[in-house]
Amino acid sequence: MRRRGRVWARGVAAVACCVAVLAGCGGPPVVPDGDAVGPGGRTAPAAPSRAVLSVQPVDGAQDVRPEGAVRVTVAQGRLVSVRLADGKGTEVPGTIAADGGAWVPDGPLPLGTAFTVDSVAEDDQGQRAAQHSAFTTVTPTHTFVAFFTPEDGSTVGVGMPVSLRFSRPITDRAAVEKAVQVTADPPVPVAAHWFDGQRLDFRPQAYWAAGTRVTVALRLKDVQGAPGEYGTQSRELHFTVGRAQVSTVDLDAHTLTVRAGQGGKVVRVLKVSGGSRDHSTYRGVMVVSEKYKVTRMNSQTVGMGDEYDIKDVPHAMRLTASGTFVHGNYWADPGVFGAANTSHGCIGLSDAKGGASKDSPAGWLFEHTLEGDVLEVKASSGDFVPPQNGLNGWNVPWEQWVAGSALGRGATATSSASAAPPSASALP
């Protein structure tokens, strides 16, 4: 390595000499710095530079770590320049120390990439030494990706958060959170909140304004989320907030009131039947996360044994991950809607079998609901929905939400870490 650097140093001097001769045409000869004129007017060869370069990793190294493994130092001299570049010639920025003794890249290097390092230093006599080396960064065998909600290009309701579910547990939450940026147009502050090591949500303090355009920049490629686990994504997602619609459900009055627009004008009041005393419906703010024209609901999937198995539940809209829906109901006595709470935890509306009707209360609500629309459920009794059960982070107060950022003021809030009790998981 040192021998190679000295050879290059002599080459640099030779080139400088040639340049001097050419530049001397028509004028007096120019003597390069560090050279001496010997007997007969001939230039004596420059003395080798005393600067000794050292590059880490060693020339030809494989599987180099992306952080902390690359360093160029010099003894008996100062660094003049360091160029670290990939095979396409793209340079990696770096910084030379104030004393000129060392250089390091400014950030982590891309994974699975071949690099070259070209370093130049000079000693106290101005004689230069150069060194060339090459290495390749590690190609990870373990990677992670983020599954995101909502879908790219979608139009959603005012309550839709940005929710990321990672394929592997994240231990370096700060590094991962820093690699995700959520911006809104018109601008509004957006904060992150970790529910656990695999889920990261973003939302503003209040519901989005209608017409807001949201951009999610995922810059997770080569980010180390846990020891030996690296992200693979680098992309942008976009979604638009549609018209404003927030509905309120009063389980004591057995009504669902649909309000639209900035002023919350009442559009329609629908009669509902909520959860019975033994299977009460969650209270709190809930966001529609999925819509199904017809779906099957089986009590075994939520730990309720063989209580029901309805293969064609119409106009179903999911409110929690544990199984709470607002949906059509054709099998119950029509008299219960607006009068009694009889379900296993879901919010039911009168409907026709098959899910084809757009005129029934459930059909009308289905047609006028976007994923991301909000239902604020009120009742005199019943459990409050855990914020991580579905897209329901609106139930976390703003100060507590901000404290759940790995880059903010504290750790994940205690109240957002409890699991949703299966007994409260609704369905018909």
Catalytic residue among 193, 279, 327, 344: 327
369 CB neighbour count, 10 Å cutoff: 19
What is the residue whose two structure tokens read 């070209």? 118
Q: In what order do the strands lie in the sheet with 213-219?
A: 155-156, 234-241, 213-219, 180-185
Catalytic residue among 254, 279, 315, 346: 346
Which amino acid makes up residue 131? Q
Element (H, E) at 72: strand 71-75
- Check: CB of residue 313 under 8 Å from CB of residue 328: yes
Q: Is 327 a catalytic residue?
A: yes
255 CB neighbour count, 10 Å cutoff: 15
- Check: CB of residue 127 under 8 Å from CB of residue 47: yes
Task: Pull the structure tokens for residue 308.
Answer: 């029901």
Torsion angle (degrees, nearest 10) of CA 215, 220, 226, 227? -170
56 CB neighbour count, 10 Å cutoff: 16
Which amino acid makes up residue 226? A
Peptide bond into 397 cis (omega under 30): no
Torsion angle (degrees, nearest 10) of CA 142, 148, 152, 156? 180
Can you tell me whether residue 359 is helix, strand or coil?
A: coil
238 CB neighbour count, 10 Å cutoff: 11
CA separation for the pair 125, 143 (Å, rounded): 50
Task: Pull the structure tokens for residue 280.
Answer: 């009460």
CB-based contacts of 392: which residues, under 8 Å, 6+ apart? 284, 285, 286, 287, 319, 320, 385, 386
Exposure letters 115-152 (e unless 16+ CB within 10 A, then b): bebbbbbbbeeebbbbbebebbbbebeebbebebbbee
* Active-site residue set: 327, 346
